[in-house]
Amino acid sequence: MKIGYWDAFSGISGDMSIGSLVDAGAPVDQLVAGLNELSTGATFRSERAKRKGIAATKFSVDYEPQHKHRHLHHILEMIGAARLPLEVKQNATRVFQTLAEAEAKVHGTTIEKVHFHEVGAVDSICDIVGACIGLHLLGIEEVYCSPVNVGSGTAQTEHGVLPVPTPATSLLLRGKPVYSSGPVFELTTPTGAALAVTLARDFGAMPPMTITATGYGAGDKDFPIQATVLRLTIGERAGAAESTTITVMEANIDDTSPQVLGYAMERLFAAGALDVSLEPLLMKKNRQGTLLRVIATPETQETLAAVIFGETSTLGLRFYRAERRVQARQFVEVSTPHGKVRMKISAGGSFAPEYDDCRALALAAGVPLRQVITDANLAYLKNTR
């Protein structure tokens, strides 16, 4: 699987996104041909640039200023009428719907009535559709993103001077890892934020991959402090399928019985937890308690939090992100005197019989569990000689 990782250490915007894709190898002539399908009357420039000595691609959209505001349905009609791949249309539509929801909340109106100002301008329409075209041309199947540098200070907008991140950007990035570093400037725009939160499968550390290409998209400014570029790293997925960025959830519990905690563990595994552990604690006033720790993917953390609150007495949870390294593994089946057992084999060569298989065979045959495990290991070693 081909994956792409946007490193937003200097923020992310629409033009930086397209620039990174072109710099990484997306054919600019095909990308421009796709943008011309929108019939906006805009022209496009792709130029080499340098930001703090780093060679990058600056993608620009030139058009005559328009003094009209667009509703969501106007933009979706433009996308729908264009002769573009279905995947491009679907992704661009999702990005604009995400933007519309954020704008509607910021302005206290409905998604149907919200007016698009900056994000409805021709350059933003082309930036969003162009980024979706670029991802399609490069064959990128999954997108990931780093924590986002939003910048600081204020920004001049259609609604006047607003703090950075602007209200729409702040709302779009809710629940995502962000920070502020470097120049006092708007480094992440609503367009860039919408592309990232809509298209990225996860935010955090770079996923394991074999790198095949790297591209840099240049921003408008060339600050003396840091390079204003968005880096895109493309590669083939390596290692196991699990995400390397995980959520660790913890709670200190001192008034729930062990039986209830054991049941909660079963429910958490059934709901998708990667791992669950219970550790004894000595809490305040010398009360004995239990530390419940759950390892989860970011996508399942809310579901698992609901299970914890429902099945235990805790009133609070701690969440933090961590990086996980997992070896690739495969399963092979071996035959034992008691029946078939699946063996888990890691990329490093280590192996172990599947516990549930061994347990079921031990109960059915009336033999000790350790005997079934030993027989499974011997069967695997015999087959690999």
Of 268, 347, 264, 334, give the one whose Cα is nearest residue 301: 268
Is the pLDDT at 66 greater than 70? The verdict is: no
pLDDT band at 113 (very low <50, low <70, confident <90, very high): confident
Nearest to 95 by CA among 215, 200, 204: 200
Is pLDDT of 213 > 80?
yes
User: What is the per-residue pLDDT across 169-211, written as a single tens digit (0 to 9) for each?
Assistant: 999 999 898 999 988 999 999 999 999 999 999 888 888 889 9
pLDDT (0 to 100) of residue 64: 80
Name the class of domain 329-384: alpha beta
Over pLDDT 90: what percentage of the chain? 70
243: Cβ contacts below 8 Å, ≥ 6 apart: 201, 202, 207, 297, 298, 324
Higher pLDDT, 66 or 328: 328
Average pLDDT over the chain, rounded to an integer: 90
What are the extents of the domains in the chain?
2-237, 245-323, 329-384
Under the banding of pLDDT at 50, 70 and 90, the label for residue 31 is very high
Residue 356 Cα to chain centre, angstroms: 33
Could you tell me the end-to-end alpha-carbon distance of the chain, in angstroms, rounded to an integer?
32
pLDDT at residue 71 in the model: 80
Q: What is the pLDDT of residues 243-283, one digit of tens each?
A: 567 899 999 999 889 999 999 999 999 999 999 999 999 99
Q: Are 174 and 198 in contact (CB under 8 A)?
A: no
Which amino acid is it at 36? Answer: N
Q: Which CATH class is domain 245-323?
A: alpha beta
- 150's tokens: 């939003």
pTM flag (> 0.85): no
Could you read off the pLDDT of 280-303 as tens digits, one per residue?
Answer: 999 988 889 999 999 998 878 899
pLDDT at 72 over 90: no
User: How far apart (Å, rounded) are the C-alpha atoms in residues 374 and 46?
Assistant: 64
Average confidence (pLDDT) over 230-243 = 78
Give start and end residues of each alpha helix (H) in the chain.
14-23, 28-36, 72-81, 86-107, 122-138, 167-172, 190-199, 258-270, 301-311, 355-365, 369-384
Instruction: Report pLDDT for 120.
Output: 55
pLDDT of residue 154: 84
